[in-house]
Amino acid sequence: MSGVWHVVASYPYAAKTWLFFLDYDLGWCVGDRFLKTEVGIDWYIASPNTVLVGPLTGAFFNDENKGWAVCG
């Protein structure tokens, strides 16, 4: 199967270091923020009340409700 990468997306943050997609549309991105997409293109902050002590370096999800991110 093949997909299409959208290079120009409405991604508001410069530091994106790690991506994890559960399926073609649902994914998470970490860096200086923890972001989520439900359409595969537009990203939004998934945890606005979280105070980070450093940049996030990874994310993994078992399903759409259970997962974790690593702060390095």
Residue 11 lies in a domain: no
Domain count within the chain: 1
pLDDT, tens only, 45-54: 887 676 777 7
pTM (2 d.p.): 0.69
Q: Model confidence at 69, in pLDDT bands (50, 70, 90)?
A: confident
pLDDT, tens only, 1-46: 456 655 555 555 555 678 888 998 898 888 777 888 898 778 888 8
What's the pLDDT score for residue 11? 55
**Whole-number Å distance between alpha carbons of 33 and 29:** 8
Copy the structure tokens of residue 55: 């940049």
Containing structural domain, residue 33: 16-71
What's the pLDDT score for residue 24? 86
Q: How far is CA 18 from the centre of its chain?
A: 7
Residue 1 lies in a domain: no
Residue 49 lies in a domain: yes
Residue 58 lies in a domain: yes
